[in-house]
Structure 1
Amino acid sequence: MKSEHLPLLKSVSAPAVHPDGSRAVVAVVRPDFDADAYVGQLWNVPVDPALRPRRLTRGFRDTAPDFSPDGQVLGFLRAEAGGKPQLHVVEASGGEPVVLTDAPLGVSAFTWSPDSRSIVFSARTPEDGRYGTVDGVSAGGEDARLITDYQYRMNGVGYTADKPLQLFVIAVPDLEEEPRVAPAGRALKAAKAAEGGTAAAGLPEARQLTTAATDHNGASYSADGEAVYFTAALHEGSDEDLVSGIYRIPVDPEAGGEGPESVPLGNTGRLSVTAVRQSRDGLWLYFSAQDLGVEGRDFVARNTALYVLPAGGGDAVLLSDPETTDLSGGGIEPRGADGALVLNNARGTVQLLEFGPTGQRGVLLDGDRVVSGAADGGGTLVLSFADAETAGDVAVLEGGRLRVLSNFSAPLRDAAGIIAPQELTFASGDGYPVHGWLVRPAGDGPHPVLLNIHGGPFAQFTGALFDEAQVYAAAGYAVLMCNPRGSAGYGQAHGRSIKERMGTVDMQDVLAFLDGALQKFEELDAAALGIMGGSYGGYLTAWTISHDHRFKASIVERGFLDPVSFTGSSDIGWFFGGEYTGRTAEQMAAQSPMARVEQVRTPTLVIHSEDDLRCPVEQGQRYFTALKQRGVEAAFLVFPGENHELSRSGTPHHRRQRFEQILQWWSRHLPTAANPAPAGGTANNAADSSAG
């Protein structure tokens, strides 16, 4: 795969399964260089093997499909070029979509009522005078912000307190009726004077359900349709912790109550609730959550567990073992009358599990794949997944066996070729097993080696198709990826082993994995090594090159590089560094790449994005400057308009340019036949190739 093949990299949403089980609808989205944006449509995927998938819509970017419970209507989000996603509905049998909303900042998500007559949606609601709500007032002309809380910004969102995520309910129009016509002339004047104002746009009126100045997430209807459940941090002192709870609000204001009511969970500790769904029979309330310890901030490597609560009241019961199971891979989907589907991170894979109110019913699907979504309709279980051969496809689970229904990655395989990763395990210095993969280029070698370190740190590499590894392998590099201690998917003890010990056993593990691969495979060139990583991977790369000088060059991307300045500049800085490194100056210095920058000798490319609020650009700026001041060869690549997610969801142009710049850096220091040194240039050597 080359950077030019990015438009062939298609991502597939979680499936929406028709209530009769005959078909599923998914959103298929891809980068597009011409639009310099992500484009995509909805696809109809029949379960019948005699029928082929077909494109269902033709919008610029159509996402988040979901059938109404009666199967008559399909809801989805559509964004026009340069516009915000708005809620649309269309007859399930096909037809012209009807737009329902005109939210200034777009609609984030939606959920159907059980009777299919209304929809609850979430949308960020800006304060008057901000974000274009007043003509002529630009971002630079807005009023000043007075900030008194820790939690006021979020990477990819920006400021949050002045545009909280609120819930709205809207009636679904009869799609057989004559289309609404926007008023004009005298009718337009009357409509503007009327309450609501949405009639002026010819849209049904949406009624706001929530008002608190905080985000209201994961809304879902109760089984009887009388209320909506959601998660939020509405408790006293919520700015001091990471705790969130479950709340219930009546949909009909005449049903009584003054706003959301907290759902008591019983003796469950201090939790961060991430999803909540009621069982279809209405008897049980399932929710997923992390236990954050006594202070409500101990998030480090806390696995997400599944709980169940009697809908009529009572204490929540823990259903999964958080020491061994991590259900953070997705939300909760009802199955049958009283069951729930969840996704589990497990040793570089994501499994599909089913639970009932008394515990786990089984592992429905495991193996070398990543399940990204699943849904049940009419007794048919459909899922979306990725593996070594596909970036995303749809399958049906029948009798415990997977039958693939689509082939969305075929153009990528045909044009670019896909190199299957080889799974490996090597012993660390203390005998601890380190699990990972090698993506090996074609040919006999010797191949230069890139040691790639993932972010997080509580995240995992998987064996599924990974564009970065494919691009580097196609350029002639052997790519090594592993999940050292600190990673997700191997139990809480594995993940928490680097709490207040960053740069210890995690560095030991990645270097042991590198050494194990070099010893096992003669075609890997031990004299031509590079190291790279982003976010926490940027941290561990910078930390490693201050200890080990065998690498010819390195790339430190969007790194967590100085715990001290991170505390006040990052959106998560007020808690992240303190929980991972400890809070004292001595602890921070003992785990800080900036504190050891004078030990670095390796030529280093520092990559950062200007709008990164997770690891702010000052982290990269200061690290690059410190390297330059010490005479280390360094370069600083900065992307305007991008945030922490550049490598995953940045604009297609910037993603392609990033790959091109990375390969140029490696061509200078680790040239290959497929990625030769620049004309007139030679490969540069590190100042000292010995370990230290």
Structure 2
Amino acid sequence: MTKGYLKAEDLYKLKSVADPRLSSNGKDLVYVETKISEEKDEYVSNLYYIDVEQKTTPVQWTYGEHRNHSPRWSPAQQEVAFVSNRSGKNQIYVLKATGGEARQVTECTNGASNPVWSPDGKKIAFNVSLGEEEQLVEKDKKEEKKLVPLEVDKMKYKSDAAGFWNGKYSQIAVVDLETGDTELVTKGKNDYHLQGWSPDGKHLAVSTDLNEDLDFSFVSDVYLLDIQTKELEKITNSNGYFGGVTWSPNGRYIGLLGHEREYDNATLSKIWVYDTEQKELSCLTAETDLLIGDYAIGDFQQGAVSPGLLWTENNESFYFLASDHGNTVVYYGSLQGELYPALLENQHVYGLTTGGTLNRAVVAISKPTLHGELFLLDVPTGNLEQLTEVNKEYTDEVKLAEVEEIEFKSKDDWDLHGWIMKPANFEEGKKYPLILEIHGGPHAMYANSYFHEFQMLAAEGYAVLYINPRGSHGYGQKFVDAVRGDYGGRDYADLMEAVDYALEQYDFIDETKLGVTGGSYGGFMTNWIVGHTNRFKAAVTQRSISNWISFYGVSDIGYYFNAWQIKSELEDAETLWKHSPLAYVKNVETPLLILHSEKDFRCPIEQAEQLFIALKHRKKETKFVRFPESNHELSRSGKPSLRIARLNYILNWFHEYIK
């Protein structure tokens, strides 16, 4: 059978599997499958079950056109708690493993999230959002729809994820499953994030910042909250970001992920362990250059969850994810300092669960031609058995483009790494246009993972080049820190040298038909490129930065991001302007499409507005597309129809000016 080629609209046909949860018996697996309802233009998520010992066919556990997610096994493995919006708001439900209807266990005023079971299985702790005068449970509350002024007296009054601050704080509550009684265990003008419940049932681990001036505080401390007295015991040192808390089975050790901000937001995340008997916090990976966690970037998976440290039954060893050289891999570690990969392949592991077992894990894996599936990992042998095939029907009918890894030396002798994707309909002897893709962050990592945008371009006859320039994660602390204070410097050179390398090594690339695109930092770099070279025939800038001076005051992170990344304050406007693409707009000769979301608070739309007007005022070839009701995450989790519209805008611009 002749296979067809991918279209942007194929997002409607594809499913994402994520957040696998293996019970402590090592046998029962529950996970989340997400698809898109084309009719409703919304995401639909449901829970599925697999017996991993019998390799049974997946069984659907929840139904309906809702978002059912965050499944968590009860300690006795007889029930699963999960979050659902079936009532109109996110609330917590409990479903028996033997079947039947799910039981709603919270009726919180503003919804509930992040369920965590008590060790005895009688209670569930969770997060809620509450204003100072709001009640935890207010069944008859009517939604206020009238317009009211927004009073602002702090700098952190908006965020790209949550929008404008609404006067509510994240608090922690506990519901008794037998009586239905719900108790608020934190309060005040701070956000508390639930991390876990101690094995002896006496403490909750929570993360928060209790400094008085939060506008100038950039830490996340971990505390132990005494369930009875509500007293807090701090176990970190108010000098960095810490979270991902997990307890060893015997309760003596607490695993944490985090760092002490030695390089601000470019600092590698490390593994820390707190000894509850000795009252000591120590870093287990201080002497390594390994980045702990999944920092791969993509545009497909929905609901991926970071697992933190997954302790085994011996109380001294654990598994975790690490980002390394364009892959995310499963590592084994121990309190004795052991550290080695348990699954090291060209892959993106975006989910990991062990149920506390030593020799078995379930991993969610994506590759450039694998959207994402669940696999059973036998740790001693490294053997993988595939458990799901949610997109098999699609991949049987559609030809995906293969990728080839590239490695080369920069002119200043740094090792650089990336990929080139040939057109899906590649034929020897033919010439093809090339699109350079640039990731955001800049502290992120392209990986051996599925990318719908790249596959769409390849299906339309484009080769796609993408690399991890300096500033990217996955290549050590020196590499990720190198971009700070040098935006538009060696990072720009890395990308141009990657294009040079591709043209030298691959004779199928037509050097007269080059395009470039990227989002966020990648949008900044696209703007920078077209202001500094005319080698590209067309460019698409997405959710970009054009002016660091105005970015300082309009972005939700601007007033500190400039200092951390450009290494300049507002008083040094000359340096901020020197690094601003807007300063070089007179040099732009490349047709530039500007894509931006109306409610992007990370890189606000005024950045695009300035760029568009400056280009049009100088009679440059440009077009500006504004996406309604969308934020910085449009390309990954935005309204499905708008995600597809965005992809087609990119494709049509390149078709018009390159092909």
Task: After TM superposition, list the pairs within 5 Å mapping 1:555-574 onto structure 2.
Answer: 555-574=540-559
CA distance in 2 between partners of 1:218 and 1:544 (Å): 43
Contact 1:566 1:619 in 2 (8 A): yes
- Deviation per CA, 1:56-94, whole angstroms, max 9, x where unpaired? 21132211111101111111111239x332211110121
1:430 lines up with 2:408 in the alignment: no
Bigger mean CA offset, 401-410 vs 557-566: 401-410
Q: CA RMSD in A?
A: 2.1
How far the C-alpha of 1:348 sits from its partner, in A, is 1.0
CA distance in 1 between partners of 2:320 and 2:363 (Å): 12
Q: Who is 2:301 aligned against?
A: none
CA distance in 2 between partners of 1:326 and 1:603 (Å): 38
Distance 1:487 1:133, change over 3 A: farther
- Matched residue of 1:607: which SS? strand
1:644 lines up with 2:625 in the alignment: no
Contact 1:460 1:487 in 2 (8 A): yes
- Deviation per CA, 1:389-445, whole angstroms, max 9, x where unpaired? 322211111132222211122133123322222111122222322211111112233
- Deviation per CA, 1:520-578, whole angstroms, max 9, x where unpaired? 11111110000000000000110111111111110110012211111111111121112
1:334 lines up with 2:311 in the alignment: yes
Which of 351, 369, 376 is the matching residue for 1:389? Answer: 369
Which of 352, 357, 360 is the matching residue for 1:374? Answer: 352
Q: Who is 1:262 aligned against?
A: 233
Letter in 1 for 2:450: L
Contact 2:109 2:141 in 1 (8 A): no
Q: Who is 1:658 aligned against?
A: 646
CA distance in 1 between partners of 2:168 and 2:312 (Å): 35
Q: Who is 2:426 aligned against?
A: 443
Task: After TM superposition, list the pairs within 5 Å mapping 1:534-613 onto structure 2.
Answer: 534-583=519-568, 584-613=572-601
Q: Who is 2:23 aligned against?
A: 18
Q: Who is 2:83 aligned against?
A: 77
1:113 lines up with 2:111 in the alignment: no
Q: Who is 1:8 aligned against?
A: 13
Which of 316, 322, 327 is the matching residue for 1:344? Answer: 322
Bigger mean CA offset, 219-228 vs 391-400: 391-400
CA distance in 2 between partners of 1:313 and 1:163 (Å): 37
Contact 1:319 1:360 in 2 (8 A): no
Contact 1:120 1:219 in 2 (8 A): no
TM-score (norm 2): 0.91
Letter in 2 for 1:479: V
Which of 500, 505, 516 is the matching residue for 1:515? Answer: 500
Letter in 2 for 1:653: S
CA distance in 2 between partners of 1:613 and 1:457 (Å): 17
Contact 1:43 1:55 in 2 (8 A): yes
Q: Who is 2:3 aligned against?
A: none
Distance 1:145 1:132, change over 3 A: farther
CA distance in 2 between partners of 1:510 and 1:430 (Å): 13
Which of 106, 124, 144 is the matching residue for 1:137? Answer: 144
Which of 210, 216, 220 is the matching residue for 1:234? Answer: 210
Q: Who is 1:198 aligned against?
A: none
Contact 2:220 2:238 in 1 (8 A): no
CA distance in 2 between partners of 1:599 and 1:49 (Å): 64
Letter in 2 for 1:608: H
Task: After TM superposition, list the pairs within 5 Å mapping 1:218-233 onto structure 2.
Answer: 218-233=194-209
Contact 2:405 2:420 in 1 (8 A): yes
CA distance in 1 between partners of 2:579 and 2:288 (Å): 26
1:217 lines up with 2:222 in the alignment: no
Letter in 2 for 1:604: L
Distance 1:516 1:75, change over 3 A: same
- Deviation per CA, 1:274-330, whole angstroms, max 9, x where unpaired? 32122111111111112214xxxx523211111111113423111114761111323
CA distance in 2 between partners of 1:486 and 1:431 (Å): 16
Contact 2:440 2:521 in 1 (8 A): yes
- Deviation per CA, 1:76-131, whole angstroms, max 9, x where unpaired? 111239x3322111101211111112334432311111111111111222455999
1:621 lines up with 2:609 in the alignment: yes
1:300 lines up with 2:273 in the alignment: no
In structure 1, list runs of 5 or more residues that go unmatched. Answer: 175-203, 672-692
In structure 2, list runs of 5 or more residues that go unmatched. Answer: 1-5, 295-305
Contact 2:221 2:238 in 1 (8 A): no
Contact 1:161 1:214 in 2 (8 A): no
Which of 476, 481, 486 is the matching residue for 1:496? Answer: 481
Contact 2:635 2:643 in 1 (8 A): yes
Distance 1:132 1:435, change over 3 A: farther
How far the C-alpha of 1:49 sits from its partner, in A, is 5.0
- Matched residue of 2:486: which SS? coil
Contact 1:426 1:435 in 2 (8 A): yes
Letter in 1 for 2:603: C
- Matched residue of 2:436: which SS? strand
CA distance in 2 between partners of 1:13 and 1:549 (Å): 42
- Matched residue of 1:13: which SS? strand
Letter in 1 for 2:197: Y
Distance 1:402 1:260, change over 3 A: farther
Q: Who is 1:309 aligned against?
A: 274
Distance 1:159 1:483, change over 3 A: same
Contact 1:17 1:375 in 2 (8 A): yes
Task: After TM superposition, list the pairs within 5 Å mapping 1:238-257 onto structure 2.
Answer: 238-251=214-227, 255-256=228-229
- Size of the alignment, in residue pairs? 628
1:284 lines up with 2:253 in the alignment: yes
Letter in 1 for 2:67: R
Contact 1:107 1:122 in 2 (8 A): yes
Letter in 1 for 2:248: S
Letter in 1 for 2:480: G
- Matched residue of 1:125: which SS? strand
How far the C-alpha of 1:209 sits from its partner, in A, is 1.1
How far the C-alpha of 1:133 sits from its partner, in A, is 9.2
Contact 2:516 2:538 in 1 (8 A): yes
Contact 1:228 1:248 in 2 (8 A): yes
How far the C-alpha of 1:20 sits from its partner, in A, is 1.6
Distance 1:630 1:640, change over 3 A: same
- Deviation per CA, 1:430-467, whole angstroms, max 9, x where unpaired? 23222111111122331111000000000011111111
Distance 1:68 1:572, change over 3 A: same
Letter in 1 for 2:418: G
Q: Who is 1:678 aligned against?
A: none
CA distance in 2 between partners of 1:287 and 1:503 (Å): 35
- Deviation per CA, 1:597-650, whole angstroms, max 9, x where unpaired? 222111100000001011011111111111111111110010000000000001
- Matched residue of 2:280: which SS? coil
- Matched residue of 2:649: which SS? helix
1:631 lines up with 2:608 in the alignment: no
How far the C-alpha of 1:362 sits from its partner, in A, is 2.7
State the identity %: 30
Letter in 1 for 2:328: V
- Deviation per CA, 1:231-262, whole angstroms, max 9, x where unpaired? 111123333121111112122xxx32xx4413
1:324 lines up with 2:289 in the alignment: yes
Bigger mean CA offset, 359-368 vs 70-79: 359-368
Q: Who is 1:67 aligned against?
A: 73
Bigger mean CA offset, 368-377 vs 539-548: 368-377
How far the C-alpha of 1:10 sits from its partner, in A, is 2.2
- Matched residue of 1:299: which SS? strand
Distance 1:161 1:292, change over 3 A: farther
- Matched residue of 1:611: which SS? coil
